[in-house]
Amino acid sequence: MQRVTCGVVAAALAAGLWLMQDVLHGADRTRIFVTFVSHNEESISNPPCAPVMTDRTRFAANRVALLQAAQVVWDKRATWNFQTEYEFLLRISEWETDQERERTQGLNLVHFLNTFAPGHIQVDAHSHEQRGYNYADIAYLLERMQVPPNGIVGGFIVNPTRSETWTRLREPLRGRRYPTYTWQATTLWGGGSVNHTDDSNVSGIWRPKASNEFEVDDPNQALLAVGNYPGTGTDIDATPIQYLLDELRANRLQPGRMYTATIMIEQCELDNDPTLLPKIGLLIDRFQPDVQRGDLVWATLTEMVRVWREDYESQPLVARPAWNGGQQTRAR
């Protein structure tokens, strides 16, 4: 990671400006906006993440793997929303060594990731809002670690309606662990369900209407949702996005609309599964011709929202592509 210099950051900013100009130039056409997303979880509830959170050696190895993944994403000009729970942030504060921070310009890991490749990698809050920590608490911990709040909600419950956790995020949220801190959500991503049995897997950006009408746009609401098509599966699989591209070229997507898609990376397996990093690079390479044609745009969630507002004039889209692990999605 010593390759990172002021020149690289300047190049990243220039690349970001190029992206904005390119998107603006083609804003009247349908495009598919894509980003990688990753989560880490609590050790007590997630077996793959437990070793990373409880074993300092695994934590150090995972840190190295994260930096390698960040380099791949930057080198290939893709994007990545790194979303983190409280426990990983606590481990960073407790376990990072001076030698490790020397390899990230003297910065803690999340500060470095959030500034390493502007417009290509960003750090968001992710919370199951259990064990005394809610989204405001995660945002507080991130701000203490020099990551400014960006309003992204990196995962929440939609179904069943009685268990939903998102409608209260329309109002400012006060921390539980840090009750003097208040945070405002602006953008929802990752609408899930209990045990991931009935997740929202739509594509597009809209303003959810009500607890029982999440996939209905209400222009009177300020809180946005970015669709997490094809869902919360952890396979680094190009097929669902290729399906969208095929539909685009067959003129079966809505004209002049902005579609969204995400690819989940299992952060806690990056240092444990040697196939993951090559899969990330190969997937990016596969879609490079589509990027060059302007059909696919790599963009962080924050950039997607900006483009949706400025270039697509906040035109809502709640699309339900037929792809769902090869099955037809159910009607909602």
Q: What distance in Å separates the CA atoms of residue 205 and residue 207, rounded to the nearest whole number? A: 7
Do 81 and 154 touch, CB atoms closer than 8 A?
yes
Q: What distance in Å separates the CA atoms of residue 200 and residue 189, rounded to the nearest whole number? A: 10
pTM of the predicted structure, to 2 decimals = 0.90
Q: What distance in Å separates the CA atoms of residue 79 and residue 121, rounded to the nearest whole number? A: 6
Closest CA to 27 of 304, 221, 227: 304
Do 332 and 215 touch, CB atoms closer than 8 A?
yes
All domains of the chain in start order, with CATH = 29-310 (3.20.20)
pLDDT tens-digit profile, the chain (332 residues): 544 444 444 444 444 444 444 444 445 699 999 999 999 999 998 999 999 999 999 999 999 999 999 999 999 999 999 999 999 999 999 999 999 999 999 999 999 999 999 999 999 999 999 889 999 999 999 999 999 999 999 999 999 999 999 999 999 999 999 999 999 999 999 998 877 778 899 999 999 999 999 999 999 999 999 999 998 666 899 999 999 999 999 999 999 999 999 999 999 999 999 999 999 999 999 999 999 999 999 999 999 999 999 999 999 999 999 865 544 333 22
> DSSP label at 170?
G
